[in-house]
Structure 1
Amino acid sequence: MGTSAIEAQGLTKHFRHTVAVDDLTFSVESGRVTGFLGPNGAGKTTTMRLILGLDAPSSGSATVFGDRYVDVAEPLRTVGALLNARAVHPSRTAAAHLLCLAQAAGMSARRVDTVLGMVGLSDVAGKKAGTFSLGMSQRLGIAAALLGDPPVLIFDEPVNGLDPEGIRWIRTLMRALAAEGRTVLVSSHLMSEMALTSDHLLVVGRGRLIADSPMTEFIDRHDRRVVRVRTDHERALIPLLSAEGAHVQSEKDGSLTVTGLESGQIGVLAASCRAALAELTPVRGSLEDVFMDVTRDVVDYGVSS
C-alpha cells in the first residue's frame, strides 16, 4: 500500500446556486495511477483546481502532503499539473515558456532541455507555442508538469489531441512515474485508455463520490454478469431463464446474451429441460460498460432514446 499524498476531506465548492463539488472525501496514494472519472459536469476539473489552490473551497479541505497547496514551500518541485494545454503565451517558444517557469522556481536551464527531450519536443523547442497543434501543446504542458521533477502529478484530460503513438507514450509515461513511487492523478473520458492505465479509480457524479476502489474491484462489483449462450433449444430454455429473473437477448449471430444469472445457474436450468449447450461463456464487462451503468443516473447532458 502506498502513502497518501493528496487528501480531500468534506471538500465542497458552490458557484452561486450550483454545487460543483459536494462533500468529497478521498485520498490519492503514491506508487499507482489513480483514474479520476465522471460524466461532463461531474466536478472533476473543479476538484483538481481546489487541490491546486486555483479555487477556494466553500467548505472542507484539500491538502498535498498535509498542507494546502498555497502553503507548499516549493510548489513546482512538489506538484506538477496539466489542466489547460493552451494556457501558454502564443508568442513564446516552447523553450522560452519552460525557461520562464524554471527561472521562477530557481531551476537550472539544463532541466528545460531534459524535459523537452522527455516529451519529444526537442526539435521544435524554438517554435512558438501558438503554432502548436493540440497534441504538441499537450506535450508542452506535460513538460511543464515534469519540470520540477515532482513527486505528485495531476493531469486533466492529457490525451486530448494526441495520436495513437502519443496516447501510448503518455500511458507508458504515467505508469513509469507511478512505478518510481510518484502519485499520479489523471482524468480522462477515454475509458479504454483508463482501463489500460489506471490501478485505482475515483468516480464522481454531480460532485459526489460514487466509487473509490481498485480498477478490477470496481468492474467486478458493478458488472452486470453477462453470459453468452448458444443452444438449439432456445424455446425450452428462454422461459426458464426469464422465470429466474434473467434478461435474455437474441443476437444476430444466433447466440443469446443472458444478464442476471451466473453461468452455473444457466447450466443447471439447461440440464433441467435437456437443452444441450454449444457455448456457455461468461463475458466480463468493460470499464466503459460498467462506467455507463454506474453513472447513468448522474449524467447532466444525456441523449434521450
Structure 2
Amino acid sequence: MIEITGLTKRYGGKAAVDGLTFTVEPGRVTGFLGPNGAGKSTTMRMILGLDRPDEGRVRVNGRGYVTAALPMREVGALLDARALHGTRTARNHLLWLAHAGAIAESRVDEVLRQVGLESVARKRAGTFSLGMSQRLGIAAALLGDPRVLLFDEPVNGLDPEGVKWIRELMRDLAGEGRTVLVSSHLMSEMALTADHLVVIGRGRLIADVGMTEFVRHSSGVLVRADDPERLATALTAAGAAVEPEPGGALAVSGLEAGAIGRIALDAAIALSELTPRRLSLEEAYMNLTRDSIEFEAGAA
C-alpha cells in the first residue's frame, strides 16, 4: 500500500505538487493520470525517496521507503527505461542490480524470461530499441519480487503485442494482491487496464475514484430544444454543466435525462432530442482536466 498525505514539492516559487493526498490500495491497478506538468513524475520520485517533499509524507507499507533494509524487495519501479549503463549486457545490468539488492542470481534469468528478453540477454543494453529497453526496465522492477510496483509510461515504444503483454502483466500482478500504480497518457489503454483512477492537475488532486464510477459520473445527455439559450440558463441554475454543441444542441452533465425533461416542461420549452450518452475515458478525462492544462498548443 502507498499512502500519500499532504504532499507538497516546490521548485522556486512554483508548486509542482500541492497538498496531494491519496492512497494506492493493493489488489488493483491504479491509473495515475494528469496533463503534462501535472506533477505525476515528481510524485513518483517522492514515493521512492528520490526527491524530498517540502511538506507532507509518503508511507509505503506503513513506513518511509528510504528506511527499507532491502528496498528492491519492497518496491519495484520503472521511471526511465533509458536509465542504464549502455555498455552492459541486459543480463549483466540485472545481475549488477541483483548483487546490489541481495537477490539470488537465478532471479535474473527468471525475469528475463518473464519479459521476453531471454534471447537477447547477452546483447548490450545500449543497442536496444525503446520497446526492448522498456521490457528491460520492467524486468528490473520485477527483480526483487516486490509487493509494490510503480510504472511511469510503461507502454512507450512497445508494439501491439507488447502493449497487450504489459496490460496483462499489470492485471496479473494486481490479481496477486500487489499494489500497482501506473502513470500513462494513453487513455484507451488505461480504460482496459486500470480498476481505479487518481487524476491530478497542477499538482492537486482532481479525482480519486473507481474506473466505472469515473466514466459514469462524467457521462451526460445530448439535448436539442426550441429555445436552447433559455434552457441552458434553467439547467445551469439547477446545478448542471452545460456546453454548446454543433447545430445548436446542448451537452449536459450533472443531471439525468428525466430531470432535464422536467425542467424543460416547467419552463414550457419543447425538446426535440434528449439522448443519454456514455463518454469514453478519454472524453471524460479531457472534460475533467480542461482547466488544468499547462501546456496547450495553439491553432495552426
Give me the TM-score of the superposition, normalised by structure 1: 0.86
Task: Report how far residue 174 of structure 1 moved.
Answer: 0.3
Q: Contact 1:238/1:248 (CA < 8 Å) preserved in 2?
A: no
Counterpart AA for 1:292 = M
**Which of 224, 244, 253 is the matching residue for 2:231?**
244
Matched-pair contact (CA < 8 Å) for 2:149–2:181: yes
Q: Which residue of the partner structure matches residue 288 of structure 2?
A: 294
Structure 2: which 5+ runs fail to align?
A: 233-241
Partner in structure 2 of residue 226 of structure 1 = 221
Q: Which residue of 2 aligns with 1:72?
A: 68
The one of 156, 159, 167 aligned to 1:163: 159
Superposition deviation, residue 226 in structure 1: 3.4
1:41 to 33, 37, 40: 37
Letter paired with 2:60: V
Q: Look up the match of 1:81.
A: 77
Question: What pairs up with 1:107-256 in 2 under 5 angstroms?
Answer: 107-223=103-219, 225-227=220-222, 238-240=225-227, 242-245=229-232, 249=245
Between Structure 1 and Structure 2, how many residues are aligned? 286
> What is the 5 A alignment of 1:269-284?
281-284=275-278
Residue 95 of structure 2: aligned partner: 99
* Structure 1 residues 26 and 258: CA distance shift in structure 2, 3 A: closer
Query: Are positions 1:11 and 2:7 aligned together?
Result: yes
Indicate conservation of the 8 Å contact 1:248/1:258, yes or no.
Answer: yes
What corresponds to 2:237 in structure 1? none
CA root-mean-square deviation = 2.3
Amino acid at match of 1:134: L
Corresponding letter in the other structure for 1:105: G
The amino acid across from 1:63 in the alignment is R
Distance across 1 between alignment mates of 2:270 and 2:147: 61
**Deviations, residues 107-141 of structure 1 (Å, cap 9, x unaligned):** 22111111001101001001100000000000000
Describe the shift of the 1:192–1:14 C-alpha distance in structure 2 as closer, same or farther (beyond 3 A). Answer: same
CA distance in 2, matches of 1:67, 1:242: 55
CA deviation profile, 1:225-254 (whole Å, cap 9, x unmatched): 133x8xxxxxxx631555422656457xxx
Identity of aligned residues (%): 60
* Alpha carbons 1:135, 1:163 under 8 Å: kept: yes
